[in-house]
C-alpha cells in the first residue's frame, strides 16, 4: 500500500520513522512519501519537504513566513493528489495538518488517520468538529486522551506512547557506559546538568541564555546542551558566548542516561527526561509572562503544561513559565533538585507513576497493526 505521512517537527520525525518501520513489518510492499525529516528518510521512501522548512512557531514568525507556509501547503496538496495514497497519516502539527485533512477528505475522498493527537484538551476544544468531519481514525499516545475524546463523543484508540518505545529500545540496544559518554563528549567528569532548550530556534533563543546563567551558579556540576536536530552548532554559539559549555548532537538519550539533573523546555523532552528518571525543572519562556499566566489560568482547560504532570494528574515537576520564568525561581528550583535528596526521591516516585500509566512499549507496532488491518477492510 501507499502511505503519505506529514510530520512538522523533530519529535514527529522520530515517531513517524518508528511507525514507518512498524508498517513495513505489517506490509512488506509499503511505499512511503512524506513531509518530515532525516529519520523518516532513513526509514525509506521519498522526502518531499524537510520539516526545517516548515517549523514556524508563534504569531510573528508565522506572519513573516506566511508565503512560505502557503507554498508548503500548496506543494503538499498537489503532491498528495499526484501520489494518490491509500491513506494520509498526520502526526501532530495541527495548524498545517488539519487544513490538509480537510483537503484530502473533501477533494480527494481518501482515508485520513491521525497519529499523536493535537493537544486540543488544553484549549481549542472547538477543533473537535474538524476531527469529526475530516479524520477517520485517531491514535492517541496519552492515556487521559481517551476519556477526553469519549466525553466529546469521538472514539479514539490509545496505542501507548512512542517515547516509551524509543527509550526502551535505546536502553536495550544502544546504552553507553558513563566513561564512554564522558570521553566521547569531552566532559570533565563532574555530575552532568542537562540543558534541553527546545527544538526550534525561537525556543533556544528564549530559554537557553537563562538556563546557562542558572547553571553557572552551580560550578560543581557540568552543564551540557542537547543540540536539536536541524540546528547548526553556530546558532548555539550566539547564546553560549565565552562559556566553555559542551553541546552534544544526536546524543540526547546518552546525555539523559548520565545526567544528575536537567532543565527542560516543555514538550516531549519533559516526558523523555522522566522516563530516564532524571529530576528536572520545566522552564519555558513566553512573552508578557504575567498576561500569559493569567490567560493560562482562566482560559485553558488544564492545570499543567508539561506531559509529566498531565499524565500524573498532579504536580510532579515544577513548571516555571509565564510569570514564574525568572532566573531566581529557576535557580532556587534547581538548587532543591541538586541538593535535597527527599525532594529528588519524591519526584522520581512521581515518574514511576507516570511510567506505569503509559504502559508497556509497542505503540508503533500497535498503531501499524490497526492501520494496516483497517485499510485491508
The CATH number of residue 226's host domain is: 3.40.50.2000
In terms of pLDDT, which residue wins out, 179 or 287?
A: 179
Say whether pLDDT at 348 is over 80.
yes
Percent of the chain with pLDDT over 70: 92
Q: What is the pLDDT of residues 98-133, one digit of tens each?
A: 999 999 999 999 999 999 988 887 667 778 899 999
According to the model, what pLDDT value does residue 56 have? 55
Q: Calculate mean pLDDT across residues 156-183.
A: 94
Is 210 found in the same domain as 116? no
In a domain, 165, yes or no: no
Does 147 share its domain with 242? no
Q: What is the pLDDT of residue 39?
A: 93
Mean pLDDT of the 63-84 span = 83
319 φ, ψ (degrees, to nearest 5): -105, 100
**Is residue 207 located within the same domain as residue 111?**
no
pLDDT at 137 over 60: yes
Task: List 328's β-bridge partners, or say none.
Answer: none
The CA dihedral of 28, 33, 39, 44, to the nearest 10 degrees, is 40
What pLDDT score does 54 carry? 67
Q: How many domains is the chain built from?
A: 2
Q: Is residue 168 part of a domain?
A: no
HSE-CB at 111 with a 13 A cutoff on CA atoms is: 19
DSSP 249-276: ES-HHHHHHTEEEEEE-SSHHHHHHHHT
- Give domain status of residue 202, yes or no: yes
- Whether residues 190 and 150 share a domain: the answer is no
Does a structural domain hold residue 193? Answer: yes
Question: 206-217 pLDDT, tens per residue?
Answer: 999 999 999 999
Pairs from 311-314 (Cβ < 8 Å, separation ≥ 24): 311/142, 311/143, 311/144, 311/271, 311/354, 311/357, 311/358, 312/350, 312/353, 312/354, 312/357, 313/144, 314/350
Q: Are 369 and 333 members of one domain?
A: no
Over the chain, what is the mean pLDDT?
A: 91
Neighbours of 79 (CB within 10 A): 17
Residue 244's pLDDT band (cuts 50, 70, 90): confident
Q: Quote the percentage of the chain above a pLDDT of 90.
A: 74
Q: Which of 26-30, 61-65, 152-156, 161-165 has the highest mean pLDDT?
A: 26-30
Q: Are residues 77 and 186 in the same domain?
A: no
d(CA 333, CA 335): 5
In the predicted structure, residue 58 carries a pLDDT above the cut 80: no
CA distances from 117 to 72, 121, 199, 317 (A): 22, 10, 19, 23
**Residue 65 pLDDT:** 59
167 domain residue, yes or no: no
- pLDDT value at position 292? 67
In terms of residue numbers, what domain contains 67? 2-160+362-376
Instruction: Report if residue 32 sits inside a domain.
Output: yes
Same domain? 369 vs 318: no
pLDDT at 64 over 70: no
Q: Are residues 246 and 266 in the same domain?
A: yes
Q: What is the pLDDT of residue 282?
A: 97
Q: How many residues does the chain have?
A: 377
E-strand ranges in the chain read 2-7, 31-36, 46-50, 87-91, 112-115, 137-140, 157-158, 192-196, 222-227, 246-249, 259-264, 280-284, 319-321
Q: Extract the C-alpha cell encoding 159.
A: 496505542
Please indicate, yes or no, if residue 182 is contained in any of the structural domains. Answer: yes
Residue linked to cell 529557576: 330
Strand order of the sheet with strand 222-227? 246-249, 222-227, 192-196, 259-264, 280-284, 319-321
**Which DSSP string corresponds to 271-313?**
HHHHHTT--EEEEE--SSHHHHHHHHHHH-S-S-SSHHHHHHT
Give the pLDDT mean for 339-358. Answer: 97
User: pTM (2 decimals)?
Assistant: 0.83
Amino acid at each position: 500500500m501507499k502511505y503519505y505521512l506529514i510530520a512538522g517537527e523533530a519529535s514527529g520525525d522520530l515517531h513517524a520513522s518508528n511507525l514507518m518501520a512498524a508498517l513495513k513489518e505489517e506490509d512488506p510492499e509499503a511505499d512511503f512519501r512524506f513531509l518530515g525529516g532525516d529519520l523518516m528518510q532513513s526509514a525509506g521512501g521519498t522526502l518531499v519537504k524537510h520539516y526545517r522548512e516548515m517549523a514556524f512557531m508563534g504569531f510573528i514568525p508565522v506572519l513573516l513566513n506566511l508565503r512560505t507556509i502557503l507554498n508548503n501547503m500548496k506543494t503538499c496538496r498537489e503532491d498528495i493528489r499526484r501520489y494518490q495514497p491509500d491513506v494520509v497519516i498526520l502526526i501532530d502539527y495541527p495548524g498545517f495538518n488539519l487544513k490538509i485533512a480537510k483537503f484530502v477528505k473533501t477533494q480527494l475522498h481518501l482515508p485520513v488517520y491521525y497519529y499523536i493527537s493535537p493537544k486540543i484538551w488544553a484549549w481549542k476544544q472547538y477543533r473537535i468538529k474538524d476531527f469529526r468531519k475530516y479524520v477517520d481514525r485517531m491514535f492517541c499516545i496519552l492515556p487521559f486522551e481517551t476519556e477526553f475524546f469519549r466525553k466529546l463523543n469521538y472514539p479514539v484508540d490509545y496505542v501507548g506512547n512512542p517515547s516509551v518505545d524509543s527509550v526502551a529500545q535505546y536502553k536495550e540496544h544502544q546504552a553507553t557506559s558513563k566513561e564512554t559518554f564522558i570521553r566521547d563528549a569531552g566532559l570533565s567528569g563532574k555530575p552532568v546538568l542537562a540543558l534541553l532548550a527546545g527544538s526550534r530556534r525561537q525556543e533556544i533563543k528564549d530559554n537557553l541564555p537563562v538556563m546557562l546563567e542558572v547553571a553557572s551558579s552551580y560550578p560543581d556540576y557540568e552543564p551540557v546542551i542537547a543540540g536539536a536536530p536541524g540546528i547548526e552548532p553556530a546558532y548555539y554559539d550566539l547564546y553560549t558566548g565565552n562559556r566553555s559549555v559542551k553541546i552534544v548532537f544526536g546524543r540526547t538519550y546518552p546525555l539523559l542516561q548520565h545526567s544528575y539533573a536537567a532543565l527542560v523546555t516543555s514538550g516531549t523532552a519533559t516526558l523523555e527526561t522522566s522516563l530516564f528518571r532524571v529530576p528536572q525543572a520545566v522552564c519555558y519562556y513566553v512573552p508578557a509572562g504575567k498576561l500569559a499566566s493569567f490567560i493560562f489560568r482562566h482560559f485553558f482547560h488544564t492545570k499543567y503544561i508539561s506531559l509529566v504532570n498531565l499524565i500524573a494528574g498532579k504536580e510532579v515537576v515544577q513548571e516555571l513559565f509565564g510569570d514564574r520564568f525568572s532566573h531566581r525561581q529557576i535557580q532556587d528550583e534547581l538548587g532543591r533538585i541538586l541538593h535535597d535528596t527527599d525532594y529528588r526521591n519524591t519526584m522520581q516516585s512521581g515518574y514511576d507513576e507516570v511510567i506505569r500509566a503509559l504502559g508497556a512499549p509497542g505503540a508503533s507496532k500497535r498503531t501499524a497493526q490497526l492501520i494496516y488491518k483497517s485499510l485491508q477492510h
